[in-house]
């Protein structure tokens, strides 16, 4: 009988705590998608999900937090833009007030 060659299975790689914490931070603090982070780090998405779960974070919470953080960043950018526009308009109003004062003097 012919013997079948079986591929010897290797144990999955072990990751240190710093690597795990860094991967979790990429998802939670930077608001990146877990699938994107897993692909970038070369790990299985299920592995990342288990690390998130171990840190007390559920995938639904992560996506909700990411959406909320993105919305906050958008609103802050809009707020800065509106403040800048308001400052420019205040400068124009001041110039117009001064010009009206100069023209109204006899």
User: Given a cut of 80, is residue 27 above it in pLDDT?
Assistant: yes
Predicted local confidence at residue 22, as pLDDT: 92
Give the pLDDT mean for 32-49: 90
Q: How far apart are CA 3 and CA 23, in angstroms?
A: 43
56-91 confidence digits (pLDDT tens): 877 666 767 777 878 898 999 999 999 999 999 999
Give the pLDDT mean for 11-37: 84
Q: How confident is the model at residue 101 (pLDDT cuts 50, 70, 90)?
A: confident
User: Given a cut of 60, is residue 16 above it in pLDDT?
Assistant: yes
């Amino acid at each position: 009988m012919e013997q079948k060659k079986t591929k010897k299975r290797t144990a999955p790689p072990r990751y240190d705590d710093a690597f795990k914490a860094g991967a979790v931070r990429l998802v939670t603090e930077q608001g990146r998608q877990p699938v994107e982070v897993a692909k970038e780090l070369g790990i299985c998405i299920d592995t990342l999900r288990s690390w998130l779960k171990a840190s007390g974070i559920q995938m639904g919470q992560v996506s909700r937090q990411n959406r909320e953080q993105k919305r906050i960043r958008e609103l802050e950018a809009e707020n800065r833009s509106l403040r800048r526009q308001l400052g420019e308009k205040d400068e124009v109003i001041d110039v117009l007030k001064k010009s009206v004062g100069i023209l109204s003097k006899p």
